[in-house]
Structure 1
């Protein structure tokens, strides 16, 4: 089939068939266009007829209205044939349009002047006019001028009674001018005819439409059909022949008359349009032919260039194949016996001689293919489209019984003689497959190591902005293994957070080769996990950052342990309050952060606490201290600092208002004393705890812990001197401790 298609004779035949098809198409197009033009012309004729008919009807109505107005004026006179009446009608009689103007009395006598009369008692216009009807007559012969005229008549009423008829006569020769038919019709010829075919507007001696039709069978049928339609008052299209030329016409009745308007489209006008269309069709056909010729020439050029390129590609293919390691050969599709070798590599003969190998290729090469890989070879042997490259790897059995991995690549090529050859290259990839197998085992071992380790490896492709994690990432954090647009994700979720990995990213991007950071990563389970990230930057040959690799280690447990240890080192083991070192640090920090704020330091010492230990034992003493610490927590606010600095000695730092110097927080002190007095110990419920309190105020009495404590401690001892169970505050400028 391909040989037939590529044969030159077939191409010439196809070209000739295309030209014939093109000619038939344009001929059909021209014929359909001519039919469309005829239909369009007929419709235009009908539309023109309706427009002219409307104009004629309006003209007649206007004229009748003028006559009716004159009739009304005549009715005011006693004698409708008097000189005064004819003087009144003088504008009508002077018009060139009317051959005469007359008034007919009820006895049928018509007066064209007071003295000139004629008998019209039998005329239709008189008979119908006396019945009160307005009449526009068919063509009649005037008794006065002996001309062919049409008559317009209106009744003359007086007191609702017809007393005469006013009529005007118009020569039929004036009708075309009166109705302005030439101007209104344009390229279409229009005639006013009666139902019997008489032409009221004759042209070229066509006095009767039916008489001017050529006497053939077709026109006889048209005449019969049209007479029936005229008799029934119908309208419609007709096609007839005149002077051996086809004419298109439309007729419609004129309102208020027995007339019909006949519009005839000249044959020359239709012919002109058809010829014009034919010219355009021929021009279009010529343009299409030129375009097809250009396309044909261009396609021939492309085919020639394609052949040249194909020859070059074949030469290149021969050169490449000849220098390819392994065996390269070709044979015709479905004809392995036509095999031709390009190069020779005895290592790929599978231990066979060249003759034995040729025999295997020509007959059944699958006999040496590893059984499990037969489907692969069958897939390679399936027919492929020209130019398609297919390849795969399979195993063969050597003559000595060993196994060898083969890479097989083949491509179908259309050569100069239009035959398709299969080009095949075979490579020994046994060593590569062994390397791949070792790599696979290494990857499996690596995966097992990753599974056992707590670290989560990651790799961030900076250019693609994609970060990839190991499977452990999804298991631990419930996030996707691969995250695209990593910078956008970071900016969206971590920009305003604390303890993020953003500083590490910034350092690496600025050029730091490696870094580590401890930060918080949110998991998909709405948990915040402390991690330590180790990262290392990788650069290309030009020194540009390409990737960042590293690992993520979950340190939540270590952080929690550290937090517990830190808390234990800061808290008094018995009371749960801050210990001496911590409270001292926190108070110094508060003073530094609030240099101008009023802060009150309370130094609280339990009165006679030694008596509790000596009398009731240390367990009761511990019980009392725990209850005192509870009372302090209840009495002061959560943001106040409370600490135990000795056996029975406590300190509290409270933020105060600006009037602290004028009014001490006595209410707070009273509440504390009251709460302490309600503390009892189990061994003696009657024992009451009291305390002495010393006060100092920041920054008036000191700007750090040492200064504030020294002054408050002095005040506390003053309270003990004043009988205990009270408080003392002495401004620093009154007395020094």
Structure 2
């Protein structure tokens, strides 16, 4: 199992159906426990989640684990073992734990933000003092014209001074153009009270030209007798990139960079939901005599073959299909909106390009060949499992008939 990266400023828990599998000390402290072992002893994490959030949390877990919803930032109200009520932000993503999928949750205690917002409602002057000295970036604006910014906001967007930001007619300049319309729509929904608040990760262009990512919280406040938008930001750039990296690693093969088996299955299942697989064609490819290469020349040579063949497939298929490493020396390709003849042509191209690849092992030149099985969905429906099984059967037939060949679903014959 790969080591888990844990940021000591956040609490981390890993669970399966809310049964704790791993808890770090910071998480335990957030909930008032003396040690992580005390949390591990709980029968369910629901013991420390407000009951009115149980159904929401359960449904979110099911949706993420089944791939119906992407992992994201969520907010909950929790209660520690001493009765203290506090709100948290959670960042979840699916990982593999001891051979099975589990959910890793990074928990951020938002109590200080909640307290600050309460003070805002109670005493305006204290609120102004608080936000001015806050380590969070805070901006108040009306129709994107700055009304107030605190020093932390200035620092986060890499401006030179509060005056520089306040001089802007509009801070749309730090919002990427592709997001302008969305930003305006959200502003109108907030002002019209169609929505009460926002909580999202956004991309901004800082004053130094760099792109960074911020956790953005927005709500409507009274400013000078008129409604305005209060925006709080936290720089989450490193966390954002870490999560993208984790997502990439979870869906891609380490050696080749191709989609891994799980990612391919998820993509295909999603296509089934979207009724977009009736024209799907599958190519299952196995490198001939791969075990012999590993045994004779070592695993480094075997890895070279795997990587070079993966690149060959990527270049041949391009954007016209999905290429993945199915496992070991097996590769899989899915082609949508292709005729069977077009798929055969792609397979034949891969076969011929393999014959042109020269490998040098132990001072001698070698050619590596592959066997390819092709299968095609039914005209009106597609069962992915059957599609792959048929391709596998055809690939095995190509092996039996001499290797370095293609067997297609209809002809059941060789393609030279």
Q: Give the CA deviation at 1:563.
A: 0.9
Aligned partners of 2:403 and 2:180: how far apart in 1? 49
Render the CA deviation track for 1:121-174: whole Å, top value 9, x for unaligned.
xxxxxxxxxxxxxxxxxxxxxxxxxxxxxxxxxxxxxxxxxxxxxxxxxxxxxx
Match in the other structure for 2:149: 469
Q: Give the CA deviation at 1:633.
A: 2.0
Residue 382 (structure 2) pairs with residue 692 (structure 1): no
Q: Give the CA deviation at 1:553.
A: 1.6
Match in the other structure for 1:517: 200
Render the CA deviation track for 1:613-637: whole Å, top value 9, x for unaligned.
2333322222221222122123221
Cα gap change, 1:693/1:499 in structure 2, threshold over 3 Å: closer, same or farther?
farther
Cα gap change, 1:446/1:718 in structure 2, threshold over 3 Å: closer, same or farther?
closer
Cα gap change, 1:443/1:644 in structure 2, threshold over 3 Å: closer, same or farther?
closer
Find the partner of 1:584 among 239, 259, 265.
265
Query: Does structure 2 conserve the Cα–Cα contact (< 8 Å) formed by 1:693 and 1:715?
Result: yes
RMSD: 4.0
Q: Give the CA deviation at 1:507.
A: 4.4
Render the CA deviation track for 1:440-464: whole Å, top value 9, x for unaligned.
9x999975x44xx2x21112357x9
Query: Does structure 1 conserve the Cα–Cα contact (< 8 Å) formed by 2:271 and 2:277?
Result: no
Aligned partners of 2:254 and 2:393: how far apart in 1? 27
Find the partner of 2:390 among 687, 711, 720.
711
TM-score, structure 1 as length reference = 0.34
Matched residue SS, 1:637:
helix
Residue 247 (structure 2) pairs with residue 566 (structure 1): yes
Q: Give the CA deviation at 1:597.
A: 6.4
Query: Does structure 2 conserve the Cα–Cα contact (< 8 Å) formed by 1:459 and 1:469?
Result: yes
Aligned partners of 1:696 and 1:499: how far apart in 2? 45
Residue 402 (structure 2) pairs with residue 720 (structure 1): no
Aligned partners of 2:411 and 2:213: how far apart in 1? 49
How do 1:197-276 and structure 2 match up within 5 A?
none
Residue 353 (structure 2) pairs with residue 675 (structure 1): yes
Q: Give the CA deviation at 1:607.
A: 1.6
Q: Give the CA deviation at 1:482.
A: 2.2
Residue 165 (structure 2) pairs with residue 481 (structure 1): yes
* Equivalences, count: 282
Aligned partners of 2:367 and 2:203: how far apart in 1? 50
Match in the other structure for 1:530: 213
Q: Give the CA deviation at 1:668.
A: 2.6
Bigger strand fraction: 2
Matched residue SS, 1:497:
helix
Query: Does structure 1 conserve the Cα–Cα contact (< 8 Å) formed by 2:358 and 2:365?
Result: no
TM-score, structure 2 as length reference = 0.57
Cα gap change, 1:675/1:494 in structure 2, threshold over 3 Å: closer, same or farther?
closer
Query: Does structure 1 conserve the Cα–Cα contact (< 8 Å) formed by 2:259 and 2:324?
Result: yes
Cα gap change, 1:548/1:444 in structure 2, threshold over 3 Å: closer, same or farther?
closer
Residue 299 (structure 2) pairs with residue 615 (structure 1): no
Please, which runs of 5 or more residues in structure 1 have no aligned partner?
A: 1-439
Query: Does structure 1 conserve the Cα–Cα contact (< 8 Å) formed by 2:191 and 2:228?
Result: no
Render the CA deviation track for 1:529-588: whole Å, top value 9, x for unaligned.
3211123433599xx863333411222221111111111111111122111101222233
Cα gap change, 1:514/1:508 in structure 2, threshold over 3 Å: closer, same or farther?
same
Match in the other structure for 1:647: 328
Task: Point out the structure with max Rg over C-alpha.
Answer: 1
